[in-house]
């Protein structure tokens, strides 16, 4: 039988030095191209969450430089860091109003406000209304009209009334009721509170305000 139609084992051709170098350089170039097409993304620098955020708070005309956690509330900073305990932690969910302060003259629940949010704003607490030992006209009106009983909610009530009168110097009784509706009184002294706000408004519009 003839062996002409049979295929014998394939004979390997010897590789020359030039062929080897050509193959090696081609493979290296391919690897370089693939590597360049998918560079490793550098991780962005991460801030250490344990580091405090440096802020400046303008409270009652004084500036305080503080390091606070991003999640710290304004009421906790006022009470625990600055010793201003007039704002009371009542419900701590923005319902009772005992923590009310003014930010740029507008009422704000300090339990629902982060300290970092209050930066660059003028913060007024109950401690900032009096001029030394002289109470403000609104504070005097609350005393005159017996607008408080246990006193727990009184600082928030006074600040809410102050914010209302700054926005609306001559509010009607209905406007006072609406403006004070965000502040709860455990003792139910609402009638006296409304009269106190009316008295303060009358004093200011008649030129008797300090």
CATH classification at residue 170: 1.10.150.120
Closest among 73, 172, 159 to 114, alpha carbons compared:
73
Residue 107 near residue 182, CB atoms below 8 Å: yes
Torsion angle (degrees, nearest 10) of CA 67, 72, 73, 75: -60
- The answer to whether the beta carbons of residues 75 and 99 sit under 8 Å apart is yes
Q: Does 187 reside within a domain?
A: yes
* Average pLDDT score over the chain: 85
Query: If you average pLDDT over residues 24-35, what whole number do you get?
Result: 44
Edge-to-edge strand order for the sheet containing 53-59? Answer: 62-68, 53-59, 122-124, 100-103, 106-109
Residue 12 forms part of a structural domain: no
How many domains is the chain built from?
2
Select from 128, 163, 184 the last residue of a domain: 128
Output the pTM of the full model: 0.75
Domain shared by 110 and 139, yes or no:
no
Instruction: State which of 128, 157, 186 marks the end of a domain.
Output: 128
Q: Where are the alpha helices (DSSP H) in the chain?
A: 17-37, 74-76, 137-144, 154-167, 173-179, 190-205
For residues 34 and 150, the model is more confident at 150
Answer yes or no: is 141 within a domain. Answer: yes
* In-domain check, residue 152: yes
Same domain, 149 and 102: no
Give the model's pLDDT for residue 14.
58
Which residue range forms the structural domain that includes residue 98? 51-128
- The C-alpha R_g of the chain, in whole angstroms, comes to 37
The reply to whether 111 falls in a domain is yes
Instruction: Decide which of 102, 128, 154 is a domain's last residue.
Output: 128
pLDDT at 15: 54
* Residue found under tokens 């014998």: 8
């Amino acid at each position: 039988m003839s062996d002409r139609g049979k295929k014998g084992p394939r004979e390997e051709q010897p590789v020359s030095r030039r062929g080897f170098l050509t193959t090696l350089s081609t493979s290296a170039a391919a690897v370089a191209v693939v590597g360049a097409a998918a560079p490793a993304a550098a991780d962005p620098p991460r801030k250490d969450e344990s580091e405090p955020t440096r802020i400046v708070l303008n409270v009652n005309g004084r500036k305080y430089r503080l390091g606070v956690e991003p999640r710290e509330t304004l009421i906790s900073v006022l009470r625990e860091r600055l010793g201003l305990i007039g704002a009371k932690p009542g419900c701590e969910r923005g319902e009772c109003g005992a923590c009310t302060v003014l930010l740029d003259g507008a009422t704000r629940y300090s339990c629902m406000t982060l300290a970092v949010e209050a930066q660059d704003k003028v913060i007024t607490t109950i401690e900032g209304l009096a001029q030394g030992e002289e109470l403000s006209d609104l504070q005097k009106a609350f005393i005159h009209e017996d607008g408080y009983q246990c006193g727990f909610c009184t600082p928030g009530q006074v600040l809410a009334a102050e914010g209302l009168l700054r926005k609306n110097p001559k509010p009607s009784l209905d406007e006072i009721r609406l403006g004070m509706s965000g502040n709860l009184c455990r003792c139910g002294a609402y009638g006296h509170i409304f009269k106190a706000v009316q008295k303060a408004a009358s004093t200011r519009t008649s030129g008797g305000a300090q």
